[in-house]
Amino acid sequence: MLSSLLPFTLLAEREYQYVAMDLLEKRKKQLTPEHLPWIVHWITTKSWWDTVDYLAAHTTGKLFSLYPELIRPNVTAWVQGDDIWLARTAILFQLSYKAKTDQELLFSLIESCAASNQFFIQKAIGWSLREYAKTEPEAVRGFAERTVLSNLSKREALKHLG
């Protein structure tokens, strides 16, 4: 099962990460809570934006949709921790949830990270809000107006709202 992917994730060359992600895409319905430590390890040891974004939106997002009881304890710890890639994952995991997005959680996570000066956090905030704006434009507009966000986050969030 997923254990066959582990050797690819341990190799230094980035191309092996892509192979592992392609194989994981075909097996993501097999994810269980026992895979979360492995995913976290991958995020924190192979911290490239493209790998992290895939693992956030596709892998972690899928795992959390299957096991919602995993969400709050993990994402809360991730945004309170020191690893920007786990914080980015917490912000992005609902990227494809659309109407199933937990708006309260999304906004709370963003508020927890809004003061960060990390580019990858600010970009994730804007991206997650821009995607959610396709489903709930007025909620995003209102949140962006009443919340102190970086110029980058706000610009990205409101990009398609006019």
The topology under which CATH files domain 100-162 is 1.25.40
Where do the CATH 1.25.10.90 domains begin and end in the chain?
1-93
CATH, domain range 1-93: 1.25.10.90
Between the CA atoms of 22, 25, 31 and 36, what dihedral angle is there, to the nearest 10 degrees? 60
Place of tokens 């956030």: 56
Where do the CATH 1.25.40.290 domains begin and end in the chain?
100-162
Q: Please give the Cα distance from 74 to 90 (Å, whole number).
A: 8
pLDDT at 28: 85
- Output the pTM of the full model: 0.93
pLDDT at 1: 57
Q: Could you tell me the two tokens for 1?
A: 């099962």
Task: List Cβ neighbours of 147 (8 Å cut-off, separation of 6 or more).
Answer: 107, 110, 111, 114
CA-CA-CA-CA torsion sign (75, 77, 28, 49) = positive
Q: What is the pLDDT along the chain (162 residues), one digit of tens a residue?
A: 567 777 887 778 888 888 888 888 888 888 999 999 999 999 999 888 889 999 999 999 999 999 999 999 999 999 999 999 999 999 999 999 999 999 999 999 999 999 999 999 999 999 999 999 999 999 999 999 999 999 999 999 999 997
Structural Rg of the chain based on CA atoms: 16
pLDDT at 101: 98
